[in-house]
Chain A
Amino acid sequence: MSTLKSEVATSGRYDVGVIRADFPFFDTGVAYLDSANTSQRPRQVVEAMEEYFTQYNSNIHRAVYRTSMQATERYDATRRKVREFINARSVKEVIFTRNVTESINLVAYTWGRQNVGEGDLIVLTVMEHHSNIVPWQILAQEKGARLAYVDIDDQGELRLDQFHDLLEQRPKLVAFAQVSNTLGTITPYRELTAAARAAGAVVLIDGAQGVQHVGVDVQEVGCDFYGFTGHKILGPTGVGVLYGRRELLEAMPPFLGGGDMIKAVFLDHTDYAGLPEKFEAGTPAIAEVIGLGAAIDYLQGVGVDAIRAHELDLTEYAVEALSEIDGLRMFGPPALRRAGVLSFDIEGIHPHDIATIVDRHNVCIRAGHNCAMPLMHRLDVAATARASFFLYNTKEEIDRLLVGLHDAKRIFS
């Protein structure tokens, strides 16, 4: 068995060097400032997956031999870890999906089709990722429902006055990101949820950028649905999570039909399995789920609060460093209300060109619309450059970004 706990957990103080030693990727010498896109994976995650592939590779939930039982046990262990990580009441409220996109689509296609009708209102925000816009547009078109978007202010924070006005129209659903993937804005998700629930709405929170940077306690927040994805929280691609309140999940029809989601199948009908299997048709991403379990162990070993403090330090450092550059404009709120995400542009240099030039300095940043085209329109930009930080990043990497940015200025001067 591999050791799943990070050494950081036992040392008791934040040592980024110890953390980086767990990530073989950093041997490449690349400065990786794109974790809001996808994170790097520690060896503990890779080893947990390798162990499955090499020592107990088998399908889950169906074979009687011991190897399969071991796989099933490890698969189910991740569900217990997720339950604890987000403090769901029960493992029955934890559904494995492919990613947040699938988590949101699952809700739109099942709960949405059953509960949203003509003229009903769905409230979103202008800074959502496409995955929290498009599924609701599809649903609204199918049902004749209405969509309304809460705007942001000049600091990239939600216009709460608009939000509360929209609640007076009694929306069926309110869906928003816990943390904006582009601006890094940490939304007041607790207050938004409480107000929306009080107005009778069902609340879905997109936690793709939230669970690993600020954490979540779904019972305390009181949301009905919460989604997050493995690959942004040190885990593998191909596995995500949907949390749903049990009463809602039980009343919802299945999403995909097939193996594993049934109790009994007859030629003329099927009795569905209970939770969570009802929503997990077909052989799942077994190795990835096991890898996700190791990722959660790693994150909890370091501690989300310690990660947040480290990222805040990096963000403050980066905001100051980037301010030096003439013509550089940063978007989003002050560091205290921002996760480790910095979107910016530089006058006269397109973000693509910025990213290409800093890449020549071995620094990875995102450039483009960040899967948030409506937000780009709102900010009146075609694209932004985005640097994002996670538990393993250092000030030295930000310094290297700065060197790259100065070079971009020189080339385009």
Chain B
Amino acid sequence: MALDDQFYREYILDHYKNPRNFGRLEAADISHEEYNPLCGDMVGMDFRMLDGVIQDVRFHGRGCAISQASASLMTERLKGMRVEDARKISKEDVLGELGIEISPARLKCALLSLKVLKVGAYGLAHEEDED
């Protein structure tokens, strides 16, 4: 089965098994959780901010390899990032970073952490699901 080796690439599995920045932040400035209504998967993020820069970020949650690896990758990207740059992170950026072919059924898994970022942390309008 070459296909699923491609799908579950080593670094995806690595981020799933050894999630970076996993856990809760004491005295977080912003905390937000989102659920995937299709499966009940959850991703939450805590942020500590200073002068418009994300000082620290942690995530927690439960879900599949795709949703959790996506969140783990997201936290690595966000640390030290300016808020206005974080706002610009797009769906394409997230999928590009995952670097695997995501079927429509799994798109919501891959983009759950982006939803947390957009809806929760930045109070942006709730993005309509496009798929």
Interface residues of A (CB under 8 A from B): 350-353, 356-357, 360-361, 367-369, 373, 376, 382-383, 407, 411-412
Contacts and interface: CB of A to CB of B under 8 A. Distances in A.
A360 B1 contact: yes
Contacts of B109: 352
A357 B3 CA distance: 9
B65 to A, nearest CB: 5
Interface string B58-88: 0000111111100000000000000000000
Given A352-B64, A412-B13, A369 B1 contact: no
A361 B40 contact: no
Contacts of A376: 40
Contacts of A360: 1, 3-4, 7
A383 B40 contact: yes
A350 B67 CA distance: 10
A368 B38 contact: yes
Contacts of A382: 39-42, 62-63
Given A356-B64, A357-B8, A407-B4, 6 more contacts: A350-B65, A368-B39, A373-B40, A382-B41, A383-B40, A411-B5
Nearest to A350: B64
Interface of B: 1, 3-5, 7-8, 13, 38-42, 62-68, 103, 106, 109
Contacts of B1: 360-361, 407
A368 B39 CA distance: 4
B13 to A, nearest CB: 7
B3 A383 contact: no
B66 A352 contact: yes
A376 B40 CA distance: 9
Contacts of A383: 39-41
A350 B63 contact: yes
Contacts of A361: 1
B68 to A, nearest CB: 8
Contacts of B13: 411-412
A70 to B, nearest CB: 42
Say what secondary structure dominates the interface of chain A. helix
Contacts of B8: 353, 357, 411-412
A164 B31 CA distance: 44
A376 B39 CA distance: 10
A350 B68 CA distance: 10
B39 A356 contact: no
Nearest to A369: B40
A356 B63 contact: no
B22 to A, nearest CB: 15
A321 B109 CA distance: 30
A366 to B, nearest CB: 10
Residue of A350, A361, A376 with most partner-chain B CB within 10 A: A350
A407 B13 CA distance: 14
A234 B58 CA distance: 48
14 contacts: A350-B63, A350-B64, A351-B39, A352-B64, A352-B109, A356-B4, A360-B7, A382-B41, A382-B63, A383-B41, A411-B5, A411-B8, A412-B13, A412-B65
Contacts of B3: 360
Residue of B1, B4, B66 with most partner-chain A CB within 10 A: B4
Contacts of B64: 350-353, 356
B14 to A, nearest CB: 12
Residue of B3, B42, B68 with most partner-chain A CB within 10 A: B3
A368 B40 contact: yes
Contacts of A353: 8, 64-66
Contacts of A412: 8, 13, 65
Contacts of A356: 4, 7, 64, 103, 106
Contacts of B66: 352-353
A383 B61 CA distance: 13
Contacts of A357: 4, 8
B109 to A, nearest CB: 6
Contacts of A351: 39, 64
A361 B4 CA distance: 10
Nearest to A376: B40
Contacts of A352: 39, 41, 63-67, 106, 109
A356 B39 CA distance: 14
Residue of B5, B40, B67, B109 with most partner-chain A CB within 10 A: B40
The 6 closest A-B pairs by CB, nearest first: A352-B64, A350-B64, A368-B39, A360-B4, A369-B40, A382-B62
A353 B103 CA distance: 12
A132 to B, nearest CB: 18
A352 B107 CA distance: 12
Contacts of B65: 350, 352-353, 412
B106 A367 contact: no
